[in-house]
Amino acid sequence: MAFGGFDNKGQGGGGHTMSEINMVPLIDVMLVLLVIFIITAPLLAHSIKINLPQASAEQIEEDPVTLDLAIDASGQIFWNEEPIEMPALFNRFAAITGEKPQPEIRIRADLNTRYEILADVMSSAKRAGMKRIGFITQPRPSEPAPEAAAP
């Protein structure tokens, strides 16, 4: 878009066109935006002081209660080192189910214990409502690393 100069008033010959961009409207827009930002910037950083209530509750650390349940190779069940029969086991589980926090049952079974006995103990605990059941195992002894053959 070409603009004519103001010095060619009605002269018919060879008017030259002005090819410059008029910067005044751009400067006006920039100044308006600058004023808007100057006004709104303090509002964005303004904070309101609120007197919040202070909570003085301390976290209560409860020691997790664990009960050891051992099963030997013959299938005998031990509740914290005391022998117990399978029918009485469900009653013991039902008695401790309502405690807060619920105790964790740790089952330690012999390597030669039949799976059927272990499954009966776990199903009895589940029927009574026990949610935390763990197993105690022994890690296998580590084998010595094979020695590298010399070339």
Would the pTM of this model clear 0.85, i.e. be above it?
no
The answer to whether residue 107 sits within a structural domain is yes
Would you say residue 22 lies in a domain?
Answer: no
Is 1 within the bounds of a domain? no
Question: Is residue 87 assigned to a domain?
Answer: yes
- Helix (H) or strand (E) segment spanning residue 106: strand 104-109
**Alpha carbon distance 122, 107 (integer Å):** 9
Task: Give the model confidence (pLDDT) of 17-65 as tens digits.
Answer: 767 888 899 999 999 999 999 988 877 776 667 676 676 667 666 677 8
Based on the structure, what is the number of domains in the chain? 1
Considering only residues 40 and 139, tell me which one the structure prediction assigns the higher pLDDT.
40
Please list, residue by residue across 20-37, b when 16 or more beta carbons sit within 10 angstroms of its beta carbon and e when fewer do: eeeeeeeeeeeeeeeeee
User: What is the rounded average pLDDT of the residues 121-146?
Assistant: 82
- Answer whether residue 5 is part of any domain: no
Q: Is residue 18 part of a domain?
A: no
Answer whether residue 151 shows pLDDT above 60.
Answer: no
Q: Please report the pLDDT score of residue 33 as a whole number.
A: 95
The string over 62-97, giving b where at least 16 C-beta atoms fall within 10 Å of a residue's C-beta and e elsewhere, is eeeeebebbbeeebebebeeeeeeeeebbebbeeee
Q: Is the pLDDT of residue 147 over 90?
A: no
- pLDDT at position 36 is 93
82 domain-assigned: yes
- Domain range spanning residue 76? 66-135
pLDDT value at residue 10: 55
**CATH code for the domain of 101:** 3.30.420.270
Q: Answer whether residue 147 is part of any domain.
A: no
